[in-house]
Structure 1
Amino acid sequence: MSISGGFVELAGLVEITSEAELRDVVGEPLPRVRDKARPALHEVDRQWLAASPFCLVATSAADGSCDVSPKGDPAGFTLVLDERTIAIPERPGNRRADGYRNVLANPHVGLIYFLPGRGDTLRVNGRARLVRDAPFFDDMVVKGHRPILALVVEVQEVFHHCAKAFLRSGLWKPETWQPDAAPSRPQIAKLLERPGDSLAELERYYGDQYAKHLY
């Protein structure tokens, strides 16, 4: 094994190093796909956001290091402030704040919104800022709790994405689910994060009580 240009050299790789080479492999997008991105939310996008309980937020630090964080709440948790601005509430979590630290250094974000059972997704790209309080926080109250902060995103690009990845993976087909194929969350914590705690303690921590501390 050797290292070249910061990458580990692996035998047999045929690397793509230019957009021309990339296009030789993947081809050119159809005009309707290439041109489908819009700079503002359509009413259909608003309906999607009102129905979506989950999204992924992708960020990058100034040095290029990346993070993708899941965000979820009751459907409609993302507040549409206007056709070019949305806000995502933050709830108590592990306090790493990886994505938020990235936003402080580099405001560009990418979002993917899911509807459970649907293969297509809504993509939103834009510029984000962190807000510790605002009047609209009152519209984000869940179970009596206001968000601890919000990610306010200025929409620059929005479009709907096709279902091929979900169809190939069978993601929403319960008959393909194998939740026990990997170690349980308590087992992972014991192996990698909290070796000093007993498995019984961790099973209690991640058991029925865990869901009682979401807010």
Structure 2
Amino acid sequence: MATTVISTHEALRDVVGEASERTARKILGHIDEHARTLIAHSPFCLLATSAPDGSCDVSPRGDPAGSVLVLDDKTLVLADRPGNKLVDSFRNILDNPHAGLLFLIPGMNETLRVNGRATIVADAPFFDDLVVKGKRPRLAIVIEVRELYMHCAKAFLRSSLWQPETWPERAELPTLGCILRDQLNLTATVDQLDADLDHRSATQQY
């Protein structure tokens, strides 16, 4: 069977059809009261950025629920916490400020999607409100909201993401130490690598 490639907007619409009027109307240009509530209860979000050449990056961001600040009905702030120092998201934002966020709440199948323009800041009056466990972030990302809307539950229902009985046994999957040993051809044992990684994760979160 030949591969059918979709290369035009018209061909795409021929396959999927048009969005309903209600779907189009749900896209807001501001943070309403329901979005504020969901953001306040979300401990985890995904930050999507892209470079000028079109290459993309998605970065997980996690903090205690309520750590993402809503400054006003158009502005969000995410603290940056210590990571691998590759700063992929930051480099992309400097060159292309367009960014997307996907907020998740454990046990809730619907997600909140936010698109906007991102700015990196090294200090601001609101940094005091970004302190977690006594640690003040060195950087934060300010998002000027351009689009905000709810995404339906279908992906979570299809994947059964929140159903523990569908989860694989962790012992059946490789540990990060095992993966890094094989990918980087390291000489340390898996147990040594896992112990070191566990220690870093526990002690260098903030």
Q: Note the alpha carbon deviations across 1:124-157, whole angstroms, 9 max, x for none.
A: 0000010011111100111100112000000001
Residues 1:154 and 1:176: Cα distance change in structure 2 (over 3 Å): same
Aligned equivalent of 1:32: 22
Alignment correspondent of 2:176: 185
Percent identity, aligned pairs only, is: 50
Q: Could you tell me the TM-score, scaled by structure 2's length?
A: 0.95
**In the aligned structure 2, how far is the partner of 1:106 from the partner of 1:25?**
31
- Per-residue deviation, residues 139-185 of structure 1 (Å, max 9, x unmatched): 01111001120000000010111010000000000001113443111
The structural deviation recorded for 1:194 is 5.8
Residue 63 of structure 1 aligns to a residue whose secondary structure is: coil
Are 2:104 and 1:114 equivalent residues in the alignment?
yes
Equivalent pair of 2:175/2:194 in contact (CA under 8 Å): no
Distance 1:183 1:12 in 2: 37
Question: After superposition, what is the alpha-carbon deviation per residue over 1:8-42, rounded to whole angstroms, capped at 9, x for unaligned?
Answer: xxx83210011111111111111100221111110
- Residue of structure 2 in register with 1:4 after alignment: none
Equivalent residue of 2:161, what SS?
Answer: coil
Q: Which runs of 5+ in 2 are unaligned?
A: none
Q: Partner of 2:33 in structure 1?
A: 43
Distance 1:24 1:180 in 2: 45
Shift, 1:209, TM fit: 5.6
| Structure 1: runs of 5+ lacking an equivalent | 1-10
Q: Does 1:83 align with 2:73?
A: yes
* TM-score, reference length from structure 1: 0.91
Tell me the equivalent position of 2:146.
156
Return the alpha-carbon distance in structure 2 between the equivalents of residues 180 and 41 of structure 1: 42
- Which of 28, 41, 46 matches 1:56? 46
2:156 corresponds, among 142, 145, 166, to: 166
After TM superposition, give the deviation of residue 210 of structure 1 in Å: 2.7
RMSD across aligned C-alpha pairs, in angstroms? 1.4
- Measure, in 2, the Cα distance between the counterparts of 1:183 and 1:169: 21
Q: Name the SS of the counterpart of 2:34 in structure 1.
A: helix
Q: Runs of 4 or more off by more than 4 Å in structure 1? A: none
In structure 1, what residue type is equivalent to 2:91?
R
Please state whether the residue corresponding to 1:91 is helix, strand or coil. Answer: coil
Distance between the aligned counterparts of 2:67 and 2:162, measured in 1?
Answer: 22
